[in-house]
Amino acid sequence: MQHLAEAATKFVAPFPVVIYGVIAMALFVLLGLVTWSYRDVANRREHKSSKSKGHH
């Protein structure tokens, strides 16, 4: 059991810790761009029925 505890303390990250933050930030930006690309999609559809349109 002592050997497992010593092995756990000797963990070395495969790359610097800052890179994990950069990867996470890039992933959030990518997902944000995908979400942003779907803006106004519902308003571009002309086949809406008259019941679904607002009474403006």
Tell me: the pLDDT tens digits for 3-50?
776 766 777 889 999 999 999 999 999 999 999 998 888 777 666 666
The b/e string for 3-40 (b: 16+ C-beta within 10 A; e otherwise) is eeeeeeeeeeeeeeeeeeeeeeeeeeeeeeeeeeeeee
Nearest C-alpha neighbor of 31 from the set 20, 21, 23: 23
E strands present in 1-56:
none
pLDDT at 47: 64
Look up the pTM and report it.
Answer: 0.56
- Tokens found for residue 16: 């610097």
pLDDT at 31: 98
Q: How far is it, in rounded angstroms, from Cα 21 to Cα 29?
A: 12
